[in-house]
Chain A
Amino acid sequence: MSSSRWLAVFAAACVLVLGLAACGGGGSSSSETSSKESSESEGAGAPSSEASGEIAGAGSTAQEAAQKAWIAEFENANGGATISYDGVGSGGGREKFISGGVAYAGSDTPLSESEGELGKAIKRCEPGELLEVPDYISPIAIVYNLPGVEELKLEPETLAKIFNQEIENWNDPEIAKENPGVELPETRIVPVNRSDESGTTENFTDYLSKVAPKVWTHEVSGDWPVKGGEAASGTSGVIEAVTAGEGAIGYADASQAGELGKAMIKVGNSWAEPSAEAAAKVLDLSKEDPELEKGQKNVIAFEIDRKTEASGVYPIILVSSLIGCTKYNSASEAALVKGFFEYAISPEGQALAEEQAGSAPLSASLTKKVEAAVGAIE
């Protein structure tokens, strides 16, 4: 084959590529609707109002288990409704929501101005308004693997030093001080963190930076900031690493902790253990953050009160939110989103999430606020 022939082949290849690229640009907002949930139980407590149509959501993997359970129950009660939720991660969910790819998103961190997402989301919802409400609260447990140590108490500052690799051995006096009578072995401490970017990391580092600002000087982010620790992917990876390594300590969704020891954290003057109730209480004590709400009536975003000193409260929590609009292109789409949101935040929906995903149900007072916001969907 002569070289001019090859030139022609190459030119044809380029034309083909450009053609494909042009086609790709056209169809941007295709929503996936493929999830067929198997419905196990009768729609006990599911909403009675009939809603129908198809909507798609995407986002946080933390609330994926809860979403699947809600969708199954909701579809069971509303024969004509099809909802799909794609656990692409919070960032991906927010991006898809803003670009109009999905009707709603789930996100472990509220929309914020830092990347201009809040403004873009408000624009996306025009002529309606943006809606953002917490729907999933989950305690993050500090899990450890130390044979023989049944109970471990840690002050916030000590916890921060451990994860900052400043305290390197379990028999360090600073740990021993808070654990009288406990025989701490001379084992190297191996802090385990998430290797993937995650809302759990973001919430945990936010906690550390609030309660131990002198020790934890890193930026709050979903990416673990300290180099050199043991890193594992996903909640299951962290649990696996802590289980495998004697002397390891990590942070993970409390419902996944299994047999591992869970450290008690000092809050005020008492020691708090991760529990659904103690986690839900935190939001009652927290103030809404005007910067995250930006004057939007139906955005409920908290500045979580990590520094609370109240007793019976566990401040290391992850709060995940539902993001939607008050107006959609069609009334039926809006009705479907509204019906689904209402169910998710209802006491029944929250109880289902607690049962299926180990989350903490919204408190009564918060439920009232959230209901009012969701009621704004037209």
Chain B
Amino acid sequence: MAHFDTTTNAGQLLAAASGGRRRRGDRIFSNAAVIAAVTILALLVGVAVFLVTEGFPAITASASELPGGESFLSYVAPLAFGTVMAGVLAMIIAVPLAIAVALFITHIAPPRIALTLGYLVDLLAAIPSIIYGLWGIFVLGPAAVPVMKWLEEKLGFLPIFEGPASITGRTMLVVGLVLAVMILPIVSAVAREVFSQTPRKLQEGAQALGATRWEMIRTTVLPFGKSSVISGAMLGLGRALGETMAVAIILSVSGGVTFNLISQSNPSTIAANVALNFPESSGLAINLLIATGLVLFAITLATNFIARMIIARSEVQ
């Protein structure tokens, strides 16, 4: 609330400065802003209400009533696991890459190359997810087959590369890579923006003290951008968690909970599972799918909440 209070105070000061009465423009602006806020809130509440009311019959139904004869929790658990796993995998790949790209663009590349590269990275965000999905099964998947075979042979002792390696390349690893490419532009755009705003004084000060370029980046640019990069990463994670078409097309979903990234049997994600099963569902099966949507909603809410906490804590320090 402290945040809002300062802005209101500033507004009051401004109003006071302009003769103590609010002008018409101010009124219109303030009303429009309130309406926008209410609409967003209404949409959010509306979605939540819809998910709860429509999902409720499935959550309360007994295992024998539900299609598949599993209880709701045992149905949704592998899906939630798969969702988080795909999202986290994408983050592990995309966030360091995005930070590196952003640093390159803001601090290393000559201006002309930086401009072009920035433009190209932004372009990645404009590609529809179905195209990424098709690219995944036709290009990246088959190309990843020999790599995954190699991983199985050399690193098979790790549970994540246990294998047997998929022969078609439609694995969690490939999905993670595709999702990473999809969220890269979001994360790197945010990182780029904040890195370029690092105060010159700090950077020059660091260099004046004899810091190398890397030391300057480490001591000024990265700490300065930390909280924004985290929120950018969370934006990306949100997209990765909710991504539907690319996952539905690429992933071979036929397993329960497994950490194995390169086999043909992978847990599905919540969003992909809804997309795959909704068309042929009726009755309680639809309620069940909507109930899993509620779980996804909760997961997304939780990640955002955690991100806010991390940001708040890093701002205090």
Chain A residues in contact with chain B, CB under 8 A? Answer: 1, 3, 9-10, 12-14, 16-17, 20-21, 61, 88-92, 94-95, 115, 117, 188, 190, 192-193, 195-199, 221-224, 226-233, 237, 240-241, 244-248
B167 contacts A188, C-beta separation under 8 Å: yes
When the two chains form the complex, which single residue of B49, B167, B265 contacts A245, counting CB atoms closer than 8 Å? B167
> Are A92 and B265 CB-contacts (below 8 A) given A21-B49, A223-B68, A241-B170?
no
B137 contacts A195, C-beta separation under 8 Å: no
- Give the docked Cα–Cα distance between A248 and B145 (Å): 14
When the two chains form the complex, which single residue of A16, A94, A229 contacts B282, counting CB atoms closer than 8 Å? A94
- Give the docked Cα–Cα distance between A61 and B166 (Å): 29
Distance in Å from the Cβ of B169 to the closest Cβ of chain A? 7
Q: Which of B265-289 contact A (CB under 8 A)?
A: 265, 268, 275-283, 285
Distance in Å from the Cβ of B204 to the closest Cβ of chain A? 40
Distance in Å from the Cβ of B213 to the closest Cβ of chain A? 45
Distance in Å from the Cβ of A60 to the closest Cβ of chain B? 9
Q: Beyond A9-B41, A196-B276: 15 further Cβ-contacts under 8 Å?
A: A9-B38, A12-B42, A13-B42, A17-B45, A17-B49, A89-B278, A89-B281, A195-B268, A199-B280, A228-B264, A231-B253, A237-B249, A240-B137, A244-B168, A244-B169
Q: Which residues of A sit under 8 angstroms from B170, Cβ to Cβ? A: 230, 232, 241
Interface of A is mostly: mixed
B252 contacts A20, C-beta separation under 8 Å: no
- Give the docked Cα–Cα distance between A223 and B214 (Å): 54
- Give the docked Cα–Cα distance between A9 and B37 (Å): 8
Chain B residues in contact with chain A, CB under 8 A? Answer: 1, 4-5, 8, 34, 37-39, 41-42, 45-46, 49, 67-68, 137-138, 141-142, 164, 166-170, 248-249, 251-256, 264-265, 268, 275-283, 285
B256 contacts A227, C-beta separation under 8 Å: yes
Q: Which residues of A sit under 8 angstroms from B46, Cβ to Cβ? A: 17, 20-21
- Give the docked Cα–Cα distance between A232 and B282 (Å): 22
Q: Can you offer 23 A-B residue contacts whose CB atoms are under 8 A?
A: A9-B38, A10-B41, A12-B38, A91-B281, A91-B285, A92-B278, A92-B282, A190-B264, A195-B248, A195-B251, A195-B268, A195-B276, A196-B248, A196-B279, A197-B277, A198-B280, A221-B67, A222-B280, A226-B254, A227-B265, A232-B170, A233-B249, A247-B167
- Give the docked Cα–Cα distance between A13 and B41 (Å): 6
Distance in Å from the Cβ of A76 to the closest Cβ of chain B? 29
Distance in Å from the Cβ of B219 to the closest Cβ of chain A? 38
Residue in A closest to B254 when the chains form the complex, CB atoms: A231
B279 contacts A88, C-beta separation under 8 Å: yes
Q: Which residues of B sit under 8 angstroms from A237, Cβ to Cβ? A: 137, 249
Q: Which residues of A sit under 8 angstroms from B282, Cβ to Cβ? A: 91-92, 94-95, 115, 117
- Give the docked Cα–Cα distance between A197 and B315 (Å): 48
- Give the docked Cα–Cα distance between A237 and B46 (Å): 35
> Are A244 and B254 CB-contacts (below 8 A) given A88-B279, A91-B281?
no
10 residue pairs, one from A and one from B, having the closest CB atoms: A89-B279, A245-B167, A196-B276, A197-B280, A91-B282, A13-B41, A245-B168, A13-B42, A228-B265, A16-B42
Residue in B closest to A116 when the chains form the complex, CB atoms: B283
Distance in Å from the Cβ of B255 to the closest Cβ of chain A? 6
Residue in B closest to A3 when the chains form the complex, CB atoms: B1
A13 contacts B279, C-beta separation under 8 Å: no
A61 contacts B253, C-beta separation under 8 Å: no
Distance in Å from the Cβ of A185 to the closest Cβ of chain B? 13
- Give the docked Cα–Cα distance between A117 and B281 (Å): 13
Q: Which residues of A sit under 8 angstroms from B279, Cβ to Cβ? A: 61, 88-89, 91-92, 196-197
- Give the docked Cα–Cα distance between A229 and B1 (Å): 53
- Give the docked Cα–Cα distance between A335 and B216 (Å): 80
B280 contacts A92, C-beta separation under 8 Å: yes
B38 contacts A16, C-beta separation under 8 Å: yes
- Give the docked Cα–Cα distance between A330 and B255 (Å): 51
> Are A230 and B45 CB-contacts (below 8 A) given A9-B37, A241-B168, A248-B168?
no
> Are A1 and B8 CB-contacts (below 8 A) given A9-B37, A91-B279, A230-B166?
yes
Among B37, B46, B255, B275, the one with the most A-chain Cβ atoms within 10 Å of its Cβ is B46
A195 contacts B252, C-beta separation under 8 Å: yes
Distance in Å from the Cβ of B317 to the closest Cβ of chain A? 28
- Give the docked Cα–Cα distance between A231 and B67 (Å): 20
Q: Which residues of B sit under 8 angstroms from A246, Cβ to Cβ? A: 167
Among A17, A90, A117, A237, the one with the most B-chain Cβ atoms within 10 Å of its Cβ is A17
- Give the docked Cα–Cα distance between A316 and B255 (Å): 26
Among B39, B252, B255, the one with the most A-chain Cβ atoms within 10 Å of its Cβ is B252
- Give the docked Cα–Cα distance between A228 and B260 (Å): 12
Distance in Å from the Cβ of A293 to the closest Cβ of chain B? 20
Residue in B closest to A222 when the chains form the complex, CB atoms: B280
Q: Which residues of B sit under 8 angstroms from A13, Cβ to Cβ? A: 38, 41-42, 45
> Are A230 and B280 CB-contacts (below 8 A) given A16-B42, A20-B46?
no
Q: Which residues of B sit under 8 angstroms from A248, Cβ to Cβ? A: 167-168
Q: Which residues of B sit under 8 angstroms from A88, Cβ to Cβ? A: 279
B168 contacts A91, C-beta separation under 8 Å: no
- Give the docked Cα–Cα distance between A190 and B164 (Å): 11
B41 contacts A90, C-beta separation under 8 Å: no
Residue in B closest to A241 when the chains form the complex, CB atoms: B168
B252 contacts A231, C-beta separation under 8 Å: yes
Residue in B closest to A15 when the chains form the complex, CB atoms: B42
- Give the docked Cα–Cα distance between A95 and B172 (Å): 34
Distance in Å from the Cβ of B22 to the closest Cβ of chain A? 14
A195 contacts B253, C-beta separation under 8 Å: yes
> Are A229 and B268 CB-contacts (below 8 A) given A197-B277, A244-B169?
no
Residue in B closest to A230 when the chains form the complex, CB atoms: B264
> Are A196 and B4 CB-contacts (below 8 A) given A13-B42, A95-B282, A240-B137?
no
Residue in B closest to A195 when the chains form the complex, CB atoms: B253
B4 contacts A1, C-beta separation under 8 Å: yes
Residue in B closest to A60 when the chains form the complex, CB atoms: B280
Distance in Å from the Cβ of A225 to the closest Cβ of chain B? 9
Distance in Å from the Cβ of B217 to the closest Cβ of chain A? 39
- Give the docked Cα–Cα distance between A90 and B285 (Å): 13
Q: Which residues of B sit under 8 angstroms from A90, Cβ to Cβ? A: 280
Distance in Å from the Cβ of B148 to the closest Cβ of chain A? 12
A227 contacts B254, C-beta separation under 8 Å: yes
Q: Which residues of A sit under 8 angstroms from B45, Cβ to Cβ? A: 13-14, 17
